[in-house]
A and B are shown apart, each in its own frame.
Chain A
């Protein structure tokens, strides 16, 4: 296929995004250059684009197999290209950390390589000029960074669901998945989808036994040849090792059910009237609802979510008159 300058939608530090002939789809070309420290360190590395496209494609497919919605459609015509569904991107970097490396050590004084008690999720605003600053929930709200259909708790849950799969995938290959960065977007229907790329540029991956660095830190810190490192990683990823996600584990969830907005809820109205009768006249809104605590077994948190959505929609709520919200976490997180 011939490309013209006009079909380039965006060109970033690592990728070029072109309009595909199919509407709603884009072709993402992975560039042969490496940058670090927000572009301060820069190098042209032939072959890197191809490796990153391959590794990203593999990891997107891994997530899709586990029912995580992603932008991934297919491998592209050339080896350094992937076909994505076009998403409206959320301008946040979602970082999941299992072990302390890099900036988190500087910011909070953690010892390099220490394991966190449970995976941490951090958010950074995508803004090169401001050096991608860390951002809090209230600041995300202030800036209106999230689409109306997406809550921060959903973003966090999805990041942890992805982490669970990556940790298991790399663990089965003797690799520690220490941390990684994700970027999300929404499709035309407002559904949350994982976007961006899943290359070693965005991960910290270490050999469990030798601590060998298998990610972009080799370039950041001049530790080894990037291409050789990425090739080693790809080879280990391609090994037909079974994913250690066949053991069911227990997840805790809460389902909140309440009347839909346009539905008269006589119970809430009666409680409100009673409050007024006893003098609490300052109460001018009240909505009664139900809360269910659910313990559920599933092989992954994403599988648990899929089951819970069905349970909440089919049984715990009546969609004709009620809406529900779902919270889901690892043991002890909720409930």
Chain B
């Protein structure tokens, strides 16, 4: 199994995602340079955190126009897994692969701390190894994580159970305390918290971000087996 981690100028969490695949899951991973178009036969794409293109114009806005994102869009439209973490989530909304927008935190501060989240939907390929309503702790590190969408979009997200993670309490002003959403098909997930930064617990790969990668791993295994 091969994971592809897209690297933009200004990405800074690509190594953490690489480690999640290679060290936690013992699988293969490759970096996908933003100027390239070849996805190198990967089974899942991770858009990592960071400040792609220096956050110029709007966070995630310019990454959308990179050649690699075109390939990722086609990949996503084929129903293949695309996970956007933090800046990756911003890239996904700017690319219209997920609805809404991530705006400045209401506090105006860059927030870098552990936050409690509830897992709202365990039926996705990213979360089936969590339990419904489970509270987990993951780190956040962002200035623009305040999720916004028009009321009808929010209603659709809630009605379709596309809100996958919710902050236990308000941290950045996000509507309905939304921390992570998936698309309608469920193969594209965007989230502000960093699951790849909580893989370890007391020298074991048992951090609370781990089940997300385990879920993704078994989901891919299942699809590979069915082909």
Contact = CB atoms under 8 A, between A and B. Distances in A.
Please indicate whether A and B come from the same complex rather than being unrelated chains. yes
Contacts of B105: 266
Interface residues of B, number: 20
Contacts of A270: 108
B206 interface: no
Given A264-B173, A315-B57, A320 B104 contact: no
B100 interface: yes
A318 B58 CA distance: 8
B106 A266 contact: yes
B196 interface: no
What secondary structure prevails in chain A residues at the interface with B?
loop
Contact of B94 (A263, A267, A318): A318
B57 A320 contact: no
Interface string B82-113: 00000000000110000111011111100000
Given A263-B103, A321-B103, A315 B61 contact: yes
Nearest to A259: B103
Contacts of B103: 263-264, 266, 321
A318 B60 CA distance: 11
A160 interface: no
B148 interface: yes
Nearest to B103: A321
Nearest to B151: A262
A253 interface: no
Contacts of A316: 57
Nearest to B94: A318
Contacts of B99: 320
Given A263-B148, A264-B173, A318 B108 contact: no
A275 to B, nearest CB: 15
Nearest to A316: B57
B148 A321 contact: yes
What secondary structure prevails in chain B residues at the interface with A?
loop
A321 B61 contact: no
How big is chain A's contact interface, by range? 10 to 19
B2 to A, nearest CB: 32
Contacts of B100: 320
Given A318-B101, A321-B101, A267 B108 contact: yes
Contact of A266 (B65, B94, B108, B150): B108
B149 interface: yes
A264 B107 CA distance: 12
B104 A318 contact: no
Given A318-B94, A320-B149, A320-B150, A267 B104 contact: yes
Nearest to B104: A266
Nearest to B153: A320
B145 to A, nearest CB: 12
Nearest to A317: B58
A260 to B, nearest CB: 10
Interface of A: 263-267, 270, 315-316, 318, 320-321
30 contacts: A263-B103, A263-B148, A264-B103, A264-B106, A264-B173, A265-B104, A266-B103, A266-B104, A266-B106, A266-B107, A266-B108, A266-B146, A266-B173, A267-B108, A270-B108, A315-B57, A315-B61, A316-B57, A318-B58, A318-B61, A318-B94, A318-B101, A320-B93, A320-B99, A320-B100, A320-B148, A320-B149, A320-B150, A321-B101, A321-B103
